[in-house]
């Protein structure tokens, strides 16, 4: 309970403080809102980066497959050479035939692997060209993206400087408001989409909360206009102020 406090005056100050808080909220939102050209550039860069990753991943997979085939071909070729040498040293027809069959089997497998390897090399060559072209495209785009990022960083810094300046004035203003009322306002504002105190509007004998538009009971409106106590909207829970026309 606040004793010896001008409630009406404190609520008027609180409403002004809320306007300052809403200005600060807008500045923070403006910092988050990226320029369309930067959003587009970032999306394009991400697309290119993703594409580059896919190309390189495919290239490495083919490279591993090629190396595996190449090692097997070299191993089979060495075995074939050994079989040919041993065939030349063999003396019986039976051994000659066995070595001939062995050499034929090895040659067949070497031919199969060679046939499988050629398309791999062709695709690797195509991928290398695509990677090179994409690297050139990204290299050309990078300065443009960096310039947009730098421009946005400057914009954000200017907004932050303005924010800090207004925040200092806001804190100075808040120091003059009774702490219990300020804490209550801040708690409500956090829970109620940035609005902690609302003006009561009167039309045709009907009183409404300026925040949620609910019709206020007459006794609630009377307490607000008397300005002797803190009154909250029975619907949305916001602090109610009679407004400047009564101040």
**Is the separation of the CB atoms in 224 and 4 below 8 Å?**
no
- What is the reported pLDDT for 92? 87
Which segments of the chain belong to CATH 1.10.287.1490? 7-27+178-246
- Burial of 111 by CB count in 10 Å (0-12 exposed, 13-18 middle, 19+ buried)? exposed
The length of the chain is: 247
- What is the reported pLDDT for 91? 80
- What is the reported pLDDT for 246? 45
**Is the separation of the CB atoms in 94 and 18 below 8 Å?**
no
**Is the separation of the CB atoms in 226 and 199 below 8 Å?**
no
- What is the reported pLDDT for 1? 45
Q: Does domain 34-174 have CATH number 1.10.287?
A: yes
- What is the reported pLDDT for 247? 41
Over the chain (247 residues), the average pLDDT of each successive run of 10 is 73 97 97 97 98 98 96 95 89 88 93 94 98 98 98 98 98 96 96 96 94 96 94 97 73
Helices (H), the chain: 7-32, 36-89, 93-174, 179-191, 218-226
Could you give the CA distance from residue 97 to residue 103 in angstroms, rounded to a whole number? 10
237: left (phi > 0), else alpha (psi -120 to 50), else beta?
left
CATH number of 7-27+178-246: 1.10.287.1490
């Amino acid at each position: 309970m606040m004793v010896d406090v001008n409630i009406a005056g404190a609520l008027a100050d609180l409403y002004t403080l809320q306007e300052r808080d809403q200005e600060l909220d807008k500045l923070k939102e403006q910092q988050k809102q990226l320029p369309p050209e930067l959003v587009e550039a970032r999306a394009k860069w991400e697309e290119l980066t993703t594409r580059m990753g896919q190309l390189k991943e495919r290239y490495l997979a083919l490279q591993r497959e090629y190396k595996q085939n190449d090692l097997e071909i070299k191993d089979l070729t060495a075995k074939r050479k050994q079989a040919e040498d041993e065939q030349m040293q063999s003396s019986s027809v039976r051994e000659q035939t066995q070595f001939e069959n062995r050499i034929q089997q090895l040659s067949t497998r070497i031919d199969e692997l060679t046939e499988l390897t050629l398309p791999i090399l062709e695709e690797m060559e195509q991928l290398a060209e695509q990677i090179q072209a994409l690297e050139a495209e990204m290299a050309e785009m990078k300065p443009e993206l960096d310039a947009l990022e730098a421009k946005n960083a400057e914009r954000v810094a200017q907004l932050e400087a303005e924010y800090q300046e207004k925040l200092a004035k806001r804190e100075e203003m808040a120091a003059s408001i009774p702490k219990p009322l300020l804490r209550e306002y801040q708690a409500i504002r956090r829970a109620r989409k940035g609005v902690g105190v609302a003006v009561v509007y009167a039309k045709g004998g009907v009183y409404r909360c300026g925040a949620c538009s609910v019709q206020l009971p007459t006794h609630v409106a009377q307490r607000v206009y008397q300005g002797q106590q803190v009154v909250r909207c029975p619907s949305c829970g916001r602090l109610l102020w009679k407004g400047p026309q009564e101040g």
